[in-house]
Chain A
Amino acid sequence: MKKYDAIVIGAGHNGLTNAAYLAKSGLDVAVLERNPYIGGATVSRELHRGWTYSNCSYVCSLLRPEIARDLELPRHGLQVVPYGGGVTFMRNGDYYGNYYDHNRQYREMARHSKRDANAYERYTTDVMKQTRLIRPYLLRRPPDPTSLKPRDLRDLLGFARSFMEMGEEGLADTLRFWTKSVGDYLNEYFETDAIKAHLGGTGVIGTALGVYSPGTAYVLLHHYMGDVDGNVGSWGFARGGMGAVAAALEKSFRAFGGEVICDADVDRIIVRHGKVRGVALKNGDEYLADIVVSNLDPRRTFLDVMDEGDLSAELLHRARNFKIRGSSGKLNIALDGLPSFHGLDKSSPLMVGDMHFTDSLERLERAYDDWKDGTWSKDPYVDMLIPTQTDPTMAPPGKHMMTVFVQYAPPKINGGEWTDADKAGFEKSVIDQIAAHSPDFRDLILHCETRTPREIEAETGLTEGNIFQGELTFDQLLFNRPFPGYSQYRGPVRGMYMCGSGTHPGGGVMAAPGANAAREILRDLRRPDVVPGGYADD
C-alpha cells in the first residue's frame, strides 16, 4: 500500500494551503475530502442554471496577500476585486451610506451627525492602532507564554515591546477592545443609531453573542484587520465566487505534485504506540502517513476522528467545552434583474457594498434575544451583497446574484432539530425584511438556496454551522486557540497536527492557520521553511 509523507483531512482553504506548503517543500501529500467537491466553506456551486453562488463564505479580505503571491494564486486563476462601502437602510425611509472615499464618507456621516462624522476620524485611528498591533502576528504561530524556549521568549518580547510602544492610553484601549462589547465601544464615539448599527454589525457576525455581550469588540476588529492590496479594512469579492480561492489553491497544490482525493470520508486517525500511522475512511480504505493534519474544527477533530483512548481526559474535556456555537444562516438568491431599494439610485456606489436593514443596536440586541430563546431572529441582521455588479462571471448579463448572510439562527430550534417548516420560516423572515425596503425584490427571485446551521453543518462539517470553527472571543484566541498547550498546531499525538480556523489566528478565509501549521510541521521535520513571513505595515 502506498504511503504518503503527509495526509491532510479536509480540502477547505486551510487544508489546501497547508498541503500546498508541505508539497512545495517536497513532501508527498494527499488531501482527503469528504464531499465530491473541494472547498469546504470556501465554495462556489451552480444550483440554478447560469448562476454561481458563493454558498458559504462570500467576501474576502483576510486572505493573506503573502500567501496569494507566494503560491501564485493569481496565475492559478484567483482575482480579488474590492468593493467600496456599504449602506444601512433605515425604517424612516432614509439610509446611512458608508463610502469608500474618505471625504464623501465624511459628508454622508455629517448628513446624520456632524459630531459623528468628526468622531469617525478618531475612531478609525484608534481601530487602526489595534490592527497594527495584531497584523504582524497573523502569519506567525502564537508564542506560548509558559514556554522558556528561545523562540517563544523572543516572540513574547517582541509582543511586549509593541505593547509598550502604544503607551498607557493605547494599552488601556487594547484591553477595552479585547474585553468590551461592540455596543459599549461604539457608544463611546457615536450618537447616531444607524451609524452605530452599521459599524456594530461586524461585531457579532458569526458569533453567538449580542452587541452588548463582552468580547464582541474584538470580533469587529477581526473584520478590520484584513486588507485588499494594502488597504487595511477593505473587503473584496473573489471573481467567480469564493470557490475560486479553493480552486486556485488546489491548482497550486497540484502544481507542486500534490493529490486531492474527493469522496473520501475519514472515519478515524490511526494511532499506534503514541504515533500517527495514517487514516481510515468510513468505507474501510486506509491511507498511510506519518503525518496527519486535520483541517476539521477542534470538536470534530478530537471527538469524531480521533479515538478517545488515544487522548487525555483533560484534552477531551477541553474539546467538549470548546465554544463553537451556531449563530448564523445564509440565503443565496438568483435574481432576474438588479433590485431597486428605497431612496437609492441603482448606479450608486453604495449598491456595490454590503447592505443592511438594521438601523439600531437595540434591534441588533433584540435579534440576539430570539437566538437565546431558541429560535431564528424575527427581525434579523443581514449582511447582503450583490457581487454580480462587478463580477460578470456569476450570472448572465443583466441578471444578478445576491448573497445574504443572516444573523441569528440557532443550531437547534427550542432544543429540537430544524424542520423544513422552520427553515421556511427563517427564509421568510429574511425575504420579508429585504422586500420591505425593495418593492421589486420579491418578483425578481428566480431561485433561493437557504442554509440554516443544519445545512451548513451537514455540508461543510462545521460543528453547529459555526463559520469561524470556534468563536473569536478572547478566551479562545492566541495561545488559547483552540486550547492552552495546543495553540502551536501540534496535536496530542506525535505526527498529528491541526491547521483549521480553530487554530490561531482564526476564521475568515485567511489561509494563515494552514500556512502557520505547515511552518511548524516543516520545522519538526527539520526541513527548510518555505512559508513566507508577513509583510510589515511600516
Chain B
Amino acid sequence: MKSASDATMMLRTPFHSRVAAACELNAWGTWKGYTTPTAYTDVELEYFAIRSTAGVFDLSPMNKYRITGPDAEAYLNRLVTRDVSKIRAGRVGYTVWCNDAGQVMDDGTIFHLGENDYRVCAFARATDWLHWSALGFDVEVVDESDEVAALAVQGPTSCAALLAMGLVGLEQLKPFGLTMFPFEGGTLMVSRTGFTGDLGYELWIAADKAELLWDRLFEAGRPHLIKPFGSDALDMARIEAGFLQAGVDFVPAESAVRSGRSRSPYELGLGWLVDMDKPVFNGRKALLREQARGSRYRFAMLDVDGNKPASHSFILSGGKKVGTVTSAAWCPTAKTNVAFAQLEMPHGDVGQELVAEIYYQRELQWTRVMAPCRVIGAPVFNPPRRRAVPPGAF
C-alpha cells in the first residue's frame, strides 16, 4: 500500500510525459486532482487550432464509470432523464440526471459499448450515487477513471489527421457514433463527440498505451497541422458553441448548500433531454410538477453589444435586475460577444432586449458599461462540418 503522502500527491494523467514536453508555458492547473495544462503555447493560437486545423486535449481526468450486467439499461433508464433504450449499441447520448427534487445533479454522456455494457462520463464524482442507485438492479458499477486515458481531437482537419493515423473508415462515423480499432495489441475506441461544437472525435485507450497513442497521433497529424490545447482554449470554444459547464453554469444539485441555487433541466434549456414517456426516472414527479406550475428561471444566450465580455454581469430589464451571467466570452470565430445568463421567468424569450451591467478594470480603474443585449435562439457557432458525413479534409 502507498504511504498516505504518496497517495494524496497531485496525480498525473497517462499522457503527462508528452503533455509536459509540449507545455512550453508551464501553465498548470488542476482538474479533479490531476495536473493539467491551462495553456501550452498561447491561448488564442490553441483556440484557433480547434477552429482552423486540429487541436488535441487530454481529457483523462474525466470521471468514467463502467456499467455492466443484465439490468444495465433499466438501471440507467431510471437514473437519467433520457430514454436510454433509444441509445443503440455503438452510439453515444448526452444527458442529465436529477435528484428526486428534479434538480440537475450533473450532465454527461452515456456510451453504449455493447449488449448490457455502458460507460458513463460525468463531470462530478458519482461513485457513491451510482452504487446507491444500483440497489435492486443486477448491475456492476466500476470506476474506471484512472484506467482509461482519453484524448479529444477537435477541429476541421481532425478526421483527416485520424485517417492518416490509419483509422480506416472513420470518415463514415456519424456524430455521436462510436467505433473500435485494434491498437498495439489493445483496443482504441473512437467516438465522434466533443465539447467544442466543431468536427471532432474522442479517443479512449488503456492507460498503458496512452503515450504510444499520443506519439502516433502527432506523427500522423503533423501535415494536418495538429496542436495540443489547454483548458483555457477549450473554455472559449465551448462558450462559442453554446455548451454549459457543470460547476460554472449550474451548481450540481447535491453540492448546493443554499436552497434555490440548483436548477432543473428546463431551467437550463435542457428540457429536450427529459423524456416524460418513461414511466419512472429520478426526479420525474418533481419535473411534472414544474411543467404544471412553471419554471422559476430560464437559461438564455445573449448577444452583447461592444467587445467587453459580460463576465459576472447583472442582467437588467427596465432598470430592474432579472438575472446574472454565468459564462461570457468574446468569440473569435463568430466575432460575437456572447454571454450565458440565468434569467428570472418570464424573461428570456428569443429576441428580448435586455441590458448587461458590465464592470471592467483598466489599470486599476473600474468602469461600468450598460451594454444592450439580445436573447438569441441558437449558438453563434455551428458549422455544417460538425454534422457532415463524410467530413471534408478541412
Residues of chain A having any CB pair with chain B under 8 Å: 65, 68-69, 73-74, 79-84, 100-101, 104, 228-231, 239, 349, 352, 389-393, 397-398, 535-536, 538
Contacts and interface: CB of A to CB of B under 8 A. Distances in A.
B48 interface: yes
Contacts of A228: 44, 332
Contacts of A101: 25, 41-42
Interface in B302-332: 306-307, 330, 332
B20 to A, nearest CB: 16
5 contacts: A68-B335, A230-B307, A392-B156, A392-B393, A393-B394
Name A's interface SS: loop
B42 A391 contact: no
Interface string B346-365: 00000000000000001000
Given A65-B307, A65-B335, A230-B307, A392 B225 contact: yes
Contacts of A74: 333-336
A398 B306 contact: no
A79 B51 contact: yes
A392 B157 contact: yes
B126 to A, nearest CB: 37
B335 A84 contact: no
B103 to A, nearest CB: 37
B45 interface: yes
Contact of A392 (B41, B164, B224, B333): B224
A228 B335 CA distance: 10
Nearest to A73: B335
B294 interface: no
A349 B330 contact: no
Contacts of A80: 332
B42 A349 contact: yes
Given A68-B335, A81-B51, A392-B394, 8 more contacts: A79-B52, A79-B333, A82-B45, A83-B45, A101-B42, A390-B52, A392-B53, A398-B223
B96 interface: no
Contact of B52 (A81, A231, A397): A81
A352 B46 CA distance: 13
A391 B306 CA distance: 28
A133 to B, nearest CB: 15
A393 B53 CA distance: 9
A390 B53 contact: yes
Contacts of A239: 52
Given A392-B394, A535-B306, A349 B41 contact: yes
A391 B52 contact: yes
Nearest to A397: B223
B3 interface: no
B367 A538 contact: yes
B160 interface: yes
A100 B45 contact: yes
Contacts of B330: 229-230
Nearest to B51: A79
Nearest to A399: B223
A100 B24 CA distance: 12
A229 B308 CA distance: 11
Interface of B: 24-25, 41-42, 44-45, 48-49, 51-53, 156-157, 160, 164, 222-225, 306-307, 330, 332-336, 362, 367, 393-394
Nearest to B45: A84
B42 A397 contact: no
Given A69-B335, A84-B45, A389-B225, A535 B160 contact: no
Contacts of B51: 79, 81
Contacts of A536: 306
A82 B224 contact: no
A500 B171 CA distance: 46
Contacts of B362: 538
Contacts of B45: 82-84, 100, 349, 352, 390
Contacts of A392: 52-53, 156-157, 160, 224-225, 393-394
Given A82-B44, A230-B330, A397 B393 contact: yes
A397 B335 contact: no
Contacts of B24: 104, 349
A386 to B, nearest CB: 11
Contacts of A390: 45, 48-49, 52-53, 225
A334 B247 CA distance: 49
B386 to A, nearest CB: 15
Contact of B224 (A65, A81, A229, A397): A397
Contacts of A69: 335-336
Given A390-B225, A391-B52, A397-B160, A231 B44 contact: yes
A68 B337 CA distance: 13
Q: Which 8 A-B pairs have the closest CB atoms?
A: A398-B223, A397-B223, A392-B394, A538-B362, A229-B332, A535-B307, A69-B335, A81-B48
A428 B100 CA distance: 77
Contacts of A230: 307, 330
Contacts of A349: 24, 41-42, 45
A352 B49 CA distance: 13
Contact of A84 (B42, B333, B393): B42
Contacts of B42: 84, 100-101, 349
A82 B157 contact: no
A390 B164 CA distance: 18
Nearest to A231: B44
A73 B393 CA distance: 23
Contacts of B335: 65, 68-69, 73-74
A104 B8 CA distance: 33
A393 B77 CA distance: 44
A390 B225 CA distance: 6
Nearest to B225: A392
Contacts of B306: 535-536
A391 B25 CA distance: 23
Contacts of A231: 44
